[in-house]
């Protein structure tokens, strides 16, 4: 028996029974699998798409969980940090079972290690699709002066707006092509998970979302301002409001990801009080 073994399952409850404590032990770097599995538990295994999700844990001989993976088609593989040897073993296991993924997302070095291993095992070319930075909120510093307008929690009457803005946001960041935004909007509306920044006459100007709290962490996402309204401070104001509300509701950690190719957003979030946690990367696989 190998000292470390990757165990794969399509059973969410089984996965959480084995990996739940591990994921909760480091809620910031594990924010994505924590929120993804919580969403699946609340809304069903096909929330993200028709394909069956896959889950996995890497366990030591004594049963200690060392790493975990989630795959929610049509999205890519999401990995917690792994060593190059652990990535190689995973690529060997997944390739041997005939699995395919459009991309892998993980902490920077782990993503690169798996991408290299996957290329060796499958012959599929791998290229960096996106580089991201995970931030954690320190002392919140709202923008001064604040822009015109005020925050408001989005309600059912805003659903069509949310669908449109979600589509525009996904297109802008190169994610979720063809995804039905309805389940996302309905899930967020069910717990007040989207805040709008609106003008005095009620015209929506920007939005920021927040995941449900799990393991003490909340992640701010997405943040979107229509192109014609950018550069006026609305994104900073609505992000500050969502961050404040998460803290006020008891979140121990308020997190967000940025695209490292966008210096404007990185500078904005640092001005608001967000501090670097780790760098992540998304590697895309060719056919």
What pLDDT, in 10s, does the model give residues 94-118? Answer: 999 999 999 999 999 999 999 999 9
Grade residue 245 by pLDDT with cuts at 50, 70 and 90: very high
Structure confidence at residue 266 (pLDDT): 96
Structure confidence at residue 1 (pLDDT): 39
Sheet holding 274-285, edge to edge: 4-9, 54-60, 65-71, 77-79, 103-107, 274-285, 126-137, 253-259, 217-224, 204-210, 194-198, 150-153
How confident is the model over 268-287, as a mean pLDDT?
96
User: Shortest CA distance to 107 belongs to which of 28, 173, 224?
Assistant: 28
Residue 133 has pLDDT above 90, yes or no: yes
Residue 176 has pLDDT above 80, yes or no: no
H-state helical runs in the chain: 12-25, 31-43, 84-96, 108-122, 159-173, 182-190, 234-248, 263-272
Grade residue 127 by pLDDT with cuts at 50, 70 and 90: very high
Structure confidence at residue 178 (pLDDT): 56
Phi and psi at 244, nearest 5°, equal: -60, -45
How confident is the model over 47-65, as a mean pLDDT?
95
Buried b (16+ CB within 10 A) or exposed e, 33-67: bbbbbbbbeeeeeebbbeeebbbbbbbeeeeebbb
DSSP class of residue 228 equals G
Residue 214 has pLDDT above 50, yes or no: yes
How confident is the model over 18-44, as a mean pLDDT?
97
Structure confidence at residue 20 (pLDDT): 98
- Partners of 146 in the β-ladder: none
> Distance between terminal CA atoms of the chain?
34
Nearby residues of 38 by Cβ (< 8 Å), 6 or more positions away: 211, 212, 214
Q: Which two tokens stand for residue 222?
A: 């997405």
Distance CA 10, CA 191 (A): 27
Look at strands 217-224 and 253-259 and give their pairing. parallel
In percent, the amount of the chain with pLDDT more than 70 equals: 98
Regarding pTM above 0.75, the answer is yes
Residue 173 has pLDDT above 90, yes or no: no
Mean of per-residue pLDDT scores for the chain:
95
Distance CA 220, CA 251 (A): 12
Residue 2 has pLDDT above 80, yes or no: no
How confident is the model over 196-217, as a mean pLDDT?
98
- Partners of 103 in the β-ladder: 284
Grade residue 175 by pLDDT with cuts at 50, 70 and 90: confident
Distance CA 156, CA 43 (A): 18
């Amino acid at each position: 028996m190998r000292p470390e073994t990757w165990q794969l399952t399509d059973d969410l409850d089984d996965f959480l029974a084995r990996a739940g404590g591990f994921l909760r032990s480091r809620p910031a770097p594990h924010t994505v699998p924590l929120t993804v599995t919580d969403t699946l538990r609340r809304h069903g295994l096909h929330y993200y798409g028709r394909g069956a999700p896959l889950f996995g844990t890497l366990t030591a001989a004594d049963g200690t969980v060392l790493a975990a993976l989630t795959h929610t088609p049509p999205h890519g593989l999401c990995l917690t940090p792994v060593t190059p040897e652990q990535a190689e073993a995973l690529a060997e296991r997944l390739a041997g079972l005939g699995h395919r993924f459009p991309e892998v997302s993980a902490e920077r070095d782990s993503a690169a290690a798996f991408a290299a291993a996957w290329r060796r095992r499958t012959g599929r070319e791998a290229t960096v699709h996106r580089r991201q930075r995970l931030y954690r909120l320190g002392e919140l510093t709202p923008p001064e002066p604040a822009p015109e307008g005020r925050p408001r929690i989005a309600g059912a009457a805003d659903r069509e707006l949310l669908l449109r803005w979600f589509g525009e946001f996904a297109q802008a960041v190169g994610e979720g092509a063809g995804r039905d935004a309805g389940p996302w909007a309905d899930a967020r509306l069910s717990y007040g998970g989207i805040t709008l920044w609106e003008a005095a006459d009620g015209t929506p100007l920007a939005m920021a979302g927040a995941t449900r709290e799990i393991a003490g962490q909340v992640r701010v996402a997405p943040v979107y301002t229509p192109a014609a309204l950018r550069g006026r401070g609305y994104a900073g104001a609505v992000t500050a409001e969502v961050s404040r509300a998460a803290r006020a509701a008891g979140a121990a950690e308020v997190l967000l990801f940025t695209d490292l190719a966008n210096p404007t957003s990185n500078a904005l979030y640092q001005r608001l009080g967000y501090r670097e946690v780790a760098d992540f990367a998304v590697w895309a696989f060719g056919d």
